[in-house]
Amino acid sequence: MYSMLIVEDERWEREGLVDFLDWNAMGIAVAGTAVDGIDGYEKALEYRPDIIVTDIRMPGMNGLEMVRKIRASLPDVRVVFLTGYSDFEYTRKAISLNVDDYVLKPVEEADMRSAMLRVIEKCDRIRARRVEEEAMLQKLRSGERMALEKLLHDLLHERGQPEQLARLLLDREARLRSAAIGVMVVVSAEPVREETVASLVGASCYMVGCDALPGAMTIVLPATKGAAANEVRHAAERLIAGWKGISRATLTIGFGEPADALEQAGRAYRIALNAARYGVFYGMSGIVTSEMGEEERKRFAGQSFAFLSAWQEASRQVRLHVLALQEKAVRQQLEDMFASIRNHPGAGKNYVAALLNGLIIDLSMIEDGHGRDEGRIQELLLMDRLDEMCAYVREYIGALLERIESKRVHKDDYIVEKTIRLIEDKLGSRELSLTVLAEEVFVSPNYLGMLFKNATGKTVHQFITETRLHKAEELLRTNKLKVSEVAERIGMTNISYFCSLFKQHYGISPGEYKELMLRR
């Protein structure tokens, strides 16, 4: 839809033009009318129309003078003059002003429609050109912004020579010259637009991606030397105050000592990032400084012995509760231990991960006697938040309690199943026997023998022999091993005895079976 201003000093002609055609159907909206050239000039600057339909002869300021003045401010406005036969000299001057069209008075509907359709085509071309120019401008701005962000990103992450990167940035951005550089790492629990953060900061700043922490972004803030620390803190306070008005999500802002020069921004970023990591790990909201973490670490150094002693006793209580399948007591003890970690924020992420990993290892020994969970430390260290670690440990212990309870409820089945797995795993061992298996499942040989026979209908010795013979048949069928090699692999060193058992079971000697398989 294009907007149109009608300028006509004769009232009846002015009002008639408003309803002269179905302007809406042509894609035109009448923005307003003016009673003379002076009024038309003022309203043109106010309404900024796409099209002006105007009389040439008007008191005060004629149409030619009005259009000349309007074009100085609105060069793309399209103009249609209304003129009479007696106004040829005016019309000639109008043509020299690059007027788009003119219609002779008295105005005929067909003439006006034709003139307006030609004007609309020109408006379409102008609008298309503007869209193209804006797209190109946006592309250029986007490219410049991306190049600038890439340079800042490389400088902050020290990927390249700081002096060279700083020089390239200073050539592009005058605001970075002769300024201290404040760096903040901002972490939100929910996605946030960079434009929103920039507007809340309320100062000229640069936004840079931060892939070191999920949901984080880096703010680079040019500041006044000598007052940079205060300026950065005030910017952070404005951001926090504004954030409270738009979101309930936690906002953590880490920052430290500003850089005196742009090439030192990498160090300022590392300090801010570590402060943000510290705050995020312990679930802190608001401003977190590097000094806060350092103070807590010093405080914890004097408390670490008492803390560790209490932790070890709490871990022992958890083991006892797990052994007794006292789930409620386990959960309560765990929450007390997690609260103790939160109350000692100087311990640090790595220390906490080691503590929780040690607890998992101790508890895993209850289940299998070996403590096979040493590798969990890597999974814990990948977590950025203490709450994630605590949830991980809760889930592990919950699953452990379920497995232990299931094993006790189905203890006999478990012992038989484990014995069968052990037989399959140790099939090639010559030492495989009822006694060895009983030691592995922590029961007496007599009890295991009775339990196994009741469950499978076979003695342990019979099951071992049959399993070995089945394995031997598979090896003879699928490999080119010698009979002696097959016997060795299944733990039977007496080849004669092996051949005798194989023939009894399959009705053919191992050698004959091997030849039969080769002929197939």
- Residue ranges covered by each domain of the chain: 2-128, 157-288, 302-407, 412-519
What CA–CA distance (Å, rounded) separates 274 from 280? Answer: 10
What CA–CA distance (Å, rounded) separates 70 from 467? Answer: 101
Q: Give CB contacts under 8 A, 24+ apart, made by 382-387.
A: 383/353, 384/213, 384/214, 384/277, 384/280, 384/281, 385/280, 385/281, 385/283, 386/281, 386/282, 386/283, 386/338, 386/341, 386/342, 386/349, 386/352, 387/283
* Burial class for 344, CB neighbours closer than 10 Å (0-12, 13-18, 19+): buried
pLDDT in single tens digits along all 520 residues of the chain: 899 999 999 889 888 999 999 999 999 999 999 999 999 999 999 999 999 999 888 888 888 889 989 988 998 899 998 887 656 566 666 665 667 888 888 888 998 999 999 999 999 998 888 887 676 656 545 556 677 888 888 888 888 888 888 888 888 787 787 678 889 999 987 777 778 888 888 767 888 888 788 888 899 988 888 888 888 889 888 888 888 888 888 899 998 888 888 888 889 999 999 999 999 999 998 999 988 989 999 999 999 999 999 999 999 999 999 988 899 999 999 999 999 999 999 999 999 999 999 999 888 888 765 545 566 888 999 999 999 999 999 999 999 998 888 877 677 888 898 999 999 998 888 889 999 999 988 889 998 999 899 888 999 999 999 999 999 999 988 888 898 999 999 999 898 999 999 999 889 998 888 888 877 6
The domain covering 157-288 belongs, at the CATH homologous superfamily level, to Reverse transcriptase/Diguanylate cyclase domain (3.30.70.270)
CATH code of 412-519, in short, is 1.10.10.60
* Burial class for 340, CB neighbours closer than 10 Å (0-12, 13-18, 19+): middle
pLDDT of residue 83: 81
Specify the 3-state DSSP secondary structure of 223.
Answer: strand
Contact (CB, 8 A) for 7 and 33: yes
Contact (CB, 8 A) for 262 and 170: yes
> Which letter does DSSP use for residue 259 in this model?
B
What CA–CA distance (Å, rounded) separates 289 from 249? Answer: 20
The number of C-alpha atoms within 13 Å of 355 and in the hemisphere containing its C-beta is: 24
What CA–CA distance (Å, rounded) separates 76 from 62? Answer: 20
pLDDT of residue 90: 62
Distances (CA, A) of 55 to 39, 90, 100, 194, 480: 13, 11, 14, 51, 108
Token pair for 324:
């007794």
What CA–CA distance (Å, rounded) separates 318 from 304? Answer: 21
Q: Does domain 2-128 have CATH number 2.40.50.100?
A: no
Token pair for 174:
């005058």
Angle at 312 between CA 310 and CA 317, to 5 degrees: 95
Angle at 440 between CA 435 and CA 441, to 5 degrees: 100
Token pair for 6:
């009608």
Distances (CA, A) of 165 to 147, 148, 151, 161, 447: 12, 10, 6, 6, 76
Q: Which of 223, 221, 217 is nearest to 194 (CA)?
A: 217
Fold agreement between 2-128 and 412-519:
no
Q: State the alpha helices, DSSP H only, in 343-459.
A: 349-368, 376-381, 386-409, 411-425, 434-440, 445-456
Contact (CB, 8 A) for 206 and 151: no
Q: For residue 482, give every residue at least 6 positions away whose Cβ sits within 8 Å of its Cβ, in sequence order, or none.
A: none
Bridge partners of residue 252, in order along the sequence: 187, 286
What CA–CA distance (Å, rounded) separates 16 from 23? Answer: 13
Torsion of CA 470, 473, 474, 478, to 10 degrees: 180
Largest CA distance in the chain: 133
What CA–CA distance (Å, rounded) separates 513 from 502? Answer: 10
Chain centre distance of CA 453:
57
Cis peptide before 106 (omega within 30 of 0): yes
